[in-house]
Amino acid sequence: MFNLHIAQNEKEEDDERRMRDDEARMARDSHSRRVIQAVAHICRPTRSRNLNRSRQQRGEELLDDYFVHNSAFPDMYFRRRFRMERHLFNKIMIAVCNHDSYFVQKKDACGAMGLFSEQKITTALRMLAYGAVADQVDEIARLGKSTILESLMRFYGAIESIYTAEYLRKPTHMNLERLLKKVEM
């Protein structure tokens, strides 16, 4: 009888110890959970407010500066700033727009016109020609960093798929002879 009483007391003590341990563990877990949630809330990237970049206005200014018939800057300035002739830029732009509809100007859900093709292609070319970063190009074309980088990647993909067959092939025998003659001169 005495052994049964001792065993029952030990069982009650074990149950109480387990309950205290469970309560302590739950308190630790809830505290840890609260700390993790607080840190996650602090580290969660918040969306910055939209900047009024006047994209449409800057796009029209870009067209007036370089791409319309009587542009503000003559062909000499276009060649210096874009490192190509205007007709070559237009040829590339038409090919890229026909290949990827991302570069074609469209209306958004609100009915507002999107970015000009010239804006997107100009940003990609400026980054490639000058080694500029997205923030530098943002000042010229008034596009966000993510839009600039997406334009660059899509432009690169379009150029690669359009011109690979023509320009990235092994030279023919005639091409080698022509290049060797050019070097001799």
**pLDDT in the model for residue 30:** 61
Residue 165 clears pLDDT 90, i.e. is over it: no
Residue 161 clears pLDDT 80, i.e. is over it: yes
* Reported pTM: 0.62
Residue 97: partners with Cβ closer than 8 Å, 6 or more residues away: 103, 104, 117
Cβ density class 95-113: b for 16+ within 10 Å, e for less: ebbeebebbeeeeeeeeee
C-alpha neighbours within 13 Å on the C-beta side of residue 48: 5
Q: Are 161 and 99 in contact (CB under 8 A)?
A: yes
Q: Are 105 and 113 in contact (CB under 8 A)?
A: yes
**pLDDT in the model for residue 38:** 60
**pLDDT in the model for residue 89:** 92
Query: pLDDT of 119-138, one tens digit each?
Result: 899 888 888 888 888 878 87
**pLDDT in the model for residue 155:** 92
Query: pLDDT of 42-93, one tens digit each?
Result: 555 566 666 677 777 788 888 888 888 888 888 888 888 888 899 999 999 9
Using left for φ > 0, alpha for ψ between -120 and 50, and beta otherwise, residue 48 falls in beta
